[in-house]
Structure 1
């Protein structure tokens, strides 16, 4: 029902979509998971032609990828280091027969960006410098990880081809190479749309 609505471009409230998650993951939604409306806008920009391979850098419970896969003709890949979140995301994808999505249990530093065409980043590294709302206790926050992860992403993005698209949501821009130009912003600069121009 939810995914059929998304396929038909019918708006879905976050309170409805978030019922797909466990009670615990539902409680984390407002702080950690991309709102449906934002996911749709971002996915639409990233999938500017069919079959684009989009990587969600720090997919969490998979909300962005699930929405993007249902509402576009792209393929969505979410990398996430927490096994429990990958399990939850996979369960939802399988139950609702969403075939153009894949969740990868890995650290971002193990991922080569050359395998993907476009990128989404909802500041998944911020938990290392702000522990006011931890996802769980399996990851020990360290400020140096924020820096090293951001450096890794910036380095990988700098190697992508010209015209590569990137969307950032609540980002500090630490991870964005100078070769990417800001095309436009929404939500008072919280949601940003980038394209590599050099």
Structure 2
């Protein structure tokens, strides 16, 4: 996927009010149409930063970072004050993420080609996900058809995801938009639950035990 979509008339100036429309205009058209279903809304990223700012954040990992919207805009909001890592296993989405990262000039965002289910990044203070197991559900608005879609695959992935999260150190936080794939997270307590942009914004904290 070439980076020819950065043309002069659509260039966003740092300091201008950010909207989903202005951000998404930097994407190739097929990825723009997926935005309402796959990429985190600007209002949710702003709410996340408001929470993180008062919660002693040191590093944030986006589990399934897609086109990098959450990571890059969060870094802009934080003025590059925190480490932000995006994990994504689709090469074409990583290419778009890197191009937009360069466009904005953020210095503390890393994108890594990894599947967070098999290569979970332990040791960070906060984690974020936007319905990360959606691609294994038989539904519309998928990114592509590369991933196996079945109820059995979804349940298997959910079990793996919960096991990974259970191994996080105490006080680690998981921030979710439209959930993590289930309603109960063993070893965690729900500390925040709000409705934002038509979805559920939740914060889970790993118990001390």
- Please say which structure displays the higher CA radius of gyration: 2
The residue number in structure 2 matching 1:4 is 14
Aligned to 2:201: 191
Report matched runs for 1:55-66 at 5 Å: 55-66=61-72
* TM-score for both structures, normalised by structure 1: 0.86
- Among 164, 170, 175, the residue aligned to 1:162: 170
Q: Is this contact kept in 2: 1:79–1:106, CA < 8 A? A: yes
Tell me if 1:70 matches 2:80.
Answer: no
For the residues of structure 1 that align with 2:184 and 2:82, how far apart are their CA atoms?
23
Corresponding residue for 2:3? none
The whole-number CA distance in structure 2 between the counterparts of 1:119 and 1:126 is 17
Within the alignment, does 1:28 sit opposite 2:34 as a pair? yes
Query: Could you tell me whether the CA contact under 8 Å between 1:79 and 1:108 is conserved in 2?
Result: yes
1:151 equivalent to 2:155? Answer no
Pairwise CA distance, 1:36: 0.7
Question: Which among 167, 171, 179 is matched to residue 179 of structure 2?
Answer: 171
Name the CA shift for 1:140/1:178 in 2 (closer, same or farther; >3 Å). Answer: closer
CA deviations over 1:37-93 (Å, ceiling 9, x no partner): 10121234245336x221111111111111111112221111111110011001110
Counterpart secondary structure, 1:131: coil
Query: CA–CA distance in 2 between the matches of 1:157 and 1:60?
Result: 20
RMSD: 2.2
Give the whole-Å Cα distance in 1 for the aligned partners of 2:176 and 2:124.
16
Offset of 1:3 from its aligned partner?
Answer: 7.3
Structure 2 length normalisation: TM-score? 0.82
Q: Which has the higher helix share?
A: 1
Instruction: Determine which of 110, 132, 137 is the counterpart of 2:145.
Output: 137
> What's 2:6 paired with?
none
- 1:153 and 1:175 in contact (8 A); partners too: no
Shift of 1:11: 4.4
Contact kept in structure 1, 2:174 and 2:204, CA below 8 Å: yes
After superposing on structure 2, the runs of 4+ consecutive aligned residues of structure 1 that deviate more than 4 Å are none
The secondary structure found in structure 2 opposite 1:160 is coil
Q: Which residues of 2 match residues 75-90 of structure 1 at below 5 A? A: 75-90=83-98
Question: Contact 2:132–2:181 at 8 Å: present in 1 too?
Answer: no
Unaligned runs of 5+ in 2: 1-10
